[in-house]
Chains A and B, each alone.
Chain A
């Protein structure tokens, strides 16, 4: 048993729902107890869908247990077919139904419906949401993609694979990627799952290659299409200016078109904004990144290579893509954190003392508690991260969005400068939070920042193995207060580490500056 408060991913049948809800003409019958319909509101509330997800639940109850549940399942499948007349159906079990002896595949087959009915095996006690989405999409593609094309294919044509319902900015990414492909003169054959019908999946083979936007969801399907339909695929995430350029080059090469018109175009404002003098203060800001693998890796690259931050932490909850994240972290000289335990992430953030956290909804709350600026770059997200405005992560416009998103939680350069210069003035004292943090003092539960910071420092100390008692001289403590609050926690822990390593009995003003010199190498 795993003690859990927060889960980054839902169970695998939620992944199947994300695929079913993204598509049209497909219906999902889920063998599940009463109550599992809660999942509907993820789509109707977080993503504000104006229609119920195309899911029928059997909603069996205790009195139905026994032979009855199989009958309920069959009835639900045939009722759903009669009512919705889908082109195809998927059937499967949620975690509780998995424990029953019913066999959704066999029961559905016995009904002999005149449409493809695709059974899903989603092991709820081993796997999670993204795996469920990936498996569902793979099963659908396998079942519906038809035989390999015999007619010659137009070279400059592709499928876009991966966007789903409840995907982080999938709607807007798609618009950007379609724009890029259109500018390159590449035709989009089918986009799936988002907006596709089962019949559309039957046409997948007509494209020359595939563009995988989110490997968490579409890699297995793309690999299968590569094997059986000889369609190569591009998996470069077009996130950030560099990422987008690499993507454009990769698809242009596969399509046999010239990438220059797109690459030479206006592109993004990010490079100029990052070079403008107000951005100088962004240099080397310590950033901690956590999210799904695709977004975490991309955000780490944008943050370091395009905005000039320093990466002090990189992690993911996507075990399926842990290898990629580990490799990226190694390239930055750090070790990746692969975990789905938010307490481990919280401890890592506290220990790394970043100045900015890029993460999920969860890290937003952790950062708020620690008083650290934060931006959301990955699912799981709340309703505010399904915005009404166009807000892609991908493409050149996505890069503009990322620049604003990463920088806004921080203080703007001038504001930070004033804060450091006039820190004893009433308007600029330590308790004043960056204006972009809004009502920051209440984030700390009404406590002075000092106290919260001390707590964070204690947490770090507690985490260190050989944490002996470290005593601060009064003058040293006073001198520490002159360090701007946003780096004071780091200064404190560095000094204490320095003192501990040298077994110094007392931290003096000297020690403070010795440590500063030591760590500023």
Chain B
């Protein structure tokens, strides 16, 4: 089920593939989003499968008073839609009584709720009116039929955009959930560059709503934010094109793009970024030896694959066999794609068994893949790096560049160490 390749004039060779996909659905985004927005609650309207998925993905986290749950659709809910809305109201009421600290409630659509066409947008509007002004209720879909893994974050942030206040002030919005430590580092760097005011989307609390308007510039910190970007443009904001801030080079180019957009003098940019660049260079040197010349294969997972491949190839000297991505936004990834070596095989979509055949034939030194594939490939003596860790670990910015490289060298170092 492979379509024809559609090569660009130069640069990477992009192919499309259709077939079985081994990927998470967008519901998984809840696992890190709920940590980021500290007074939000995520209520999935779905099946037992959805609850089971979140429980499997959240692992042990589910017990620390988590701010997510599932309203499991039962047989009687399938009987009639009016009833389902009443049921949902009842569940939400019970939930908010138990958790009065919640300020923002997301109704998260799933495959079952989408297929039976349960109108969660309408439910959110109705419940918002009921609970105003204490709780805002929004909705988005994290279903597998519509979203792949990180696209759940995109859908969530896109749902936040209409809710943002309007401004005519010139400002910068950094879009994409980042670890707090990374967010703080970027805030300091922008302040050193004299860029301001700088806001982050999502904010850490429901009340932190970045104002947007026609003089707002935004820069994406994550590559999977198609719908959020479109919604921001709809509010008049303008995107600052840049490669993503992974590795020392990526971070420098990302900051430089913002500096250019705000007319920061090159000398000031150099001064502000010099210490970070020097530290990142020192941290990366230790890992380059291990990764240089290594052949890497990416299975599709998060859309981070293209910028990660760019980092591994340009800064670590790795060779790229195939870069799989579940979805490729050519506009948002143009700068990263341009930095990939000519002829790099980039595959959008997946036909799992065919891709596994290619991987086995190539016998890569390192395969970046999901947890369903990692142990089976290891058992075939193919070293792997499980990809979901790249979403939970702070990897962006100068100070994390060494950690990022470390995530890829660790499996290789471990291989070298084990003797039994």
Contacts and interface: CB of A to CB of B under 8 A. Distances in A.
Interface of A: 1-7, 9-11, 13-14, 33-42, 44-45, 48-52, 56-62, 64-65, 75-76, 79, 83, 94-96, 99-100, 123-126, 128, 365, 369, 382
B148 to A, nearest CB: 7
B267 to A, nearest CB: 48
A34 B144 CA distance: 5
A33 B47 CA distance: 13
B45 to A, nearest CB: 8
A33 B74 CA distance: 19
A325 to B, nearest CB: 22
B20 A76 contact: yes
B53 A38 contact: yes
Interface stretch (B110-118, B157-165, B242-250, B410-418): B110-118
Interface centre among A59, A79, A126 (most CB of B within 10 A): A59
B66 interface: yes
B23 A62 contact: no
Contacts of B22: 37, 40, 57, 59
Contacts of A1: 45, 71-74, 77, 84, 87-88, 90-91
Interface stretch (B54-62, B179-187, B282-290): B54-62
Interface in B70-101: 70-75, 77-78, 84, 87-88, 90-91, 94-95
A95 B376 contact: no
A365 B66 CA distance: 13
A38 B28 CA distance: 10
Given A1-B84, A3-B94, A382-B60, A124 B55 contact: no
Nearest to B374: A44
B47 to A, nearest CB: 4
Interface in B22-51: 22-28, 45, 47-49, 51
B375 A48 contact: yes
B370 interface: yes
A95 B112 contact: yes
Interface string B116-160: 100000000000000000000000000111101000000000000
A389 B93 CA distance: 48
A36 B20 CA distance: 11
A210 to B, nearest CB: 31
20 contacts: A4-B72, A5-B68, A6-B51, A11-B48, A13-B49, A34-B21, A38-B56, A40-B371, A41-B371, A41-B372, A45-B375, A48-B375, A49-B375, A61-B144, A65-B115, A95-B111, A96-B111, A125-B47, A125-B77, A126-B74
B20 A57 contact: yes
Interface centre among A4, A11, A123, A128 (most CB of B within 10 A): A4
B353 interface: yes
Given A33-B25, A382-B60, A59 B20 contact: yes
B56 A42 contact: yes
Given A38-B57, A59-B20, A128 B48 contact: yes
Contacts of A50: 375-376, 378-379
Contact of A33 (B52, B60, B90, B145): B145
A11 B371 contact: no
A45 B20 contact: no
Given A56-B20, A60-B145, A382-B60, A124 B376 contact: no
B373 interface: yes
A79 B21 CA distance: 14
B74 A5 contact: no
A40 B148 CA distance: 16
A60 B78 CA distance: 21
Interface centre among A64, A83, A96 (most CB of B within 10 A): A96
B66 A5 contact: yes
B146 A62 contact: yes
B122 to A, nearest CB: 16
Interface centre among A13, A37, A65, A94 (most CB of B within 10 A): A37
Contact of B24 (A38, A44, A45): A38
Given A1-B71, A4-B72, A33-B111, A11 B47 contact: yes
B407 interface: no
A35 to B, nearest CB: 3
Contact of A34 (B62, B94, B148, B370): B148
Nearest to A57: B20
Nearest to B88: A1
Given A11-B47, A41-B371, A99 B112 contact: yes
B240 interface: no
Contacts of B57: 38
A52 B355 CA distance: 14
Given A4-B69, A35-B24, A62-B114, A96 B47 contact: yes
Given A11-B48, A38-B53, A52 B372 contact: yes
Contacts of B63: 365, 369
Contacts of A123: 75
B144 A36 contact: yes
A86 to B, nearest CB: 14
Given A37-B23, A41-B370, A7 B69 contact: no
A79 B62 CA distance: 38
Nearest to A124: B47
A61 B51 CA distance: 20
Contacts of A75: 1
B69 A3 contact: yes
Contacts of A2: 71-72, 74
Given A36-B49, A38-B56, A6 B62 contact: yes
B20 A10 contact: no
B72 A65 contact: no
A20 to B, nearest CB: 15
A51 B376 contact: yes
Nearest to A41: B371
Given A1-B91, A3-B71, A124 B49 contact: yes
Given A11-B48, A33-B25, A96 B145 contact: yes
Contacts of B374: 44
Interface centre among A5, A56, A65, A124 (most CB of B within 10 A): A5
Contact of B74 (A6, A57, A125): A125
A58 to B, nearest CB: 7
B49 A99 contact: no
Contact of B111 (A9, A35, A38, A41): A35
A250 B313 CA distance: 66
A33 B375 contact: no
Interface centre among B22, B24, B28, B74 (most CB of A within 10 A): B22
A331 to B, nearest CB: 32
A364 to B, nearest CB: 9
Contacts of A124: 47-49
Interface centre among A35, A39, A126 (most CB of B within 10 A): A35
Contact of B75 (A11, A49, A79, A125): A125
Contacts of B68: 5
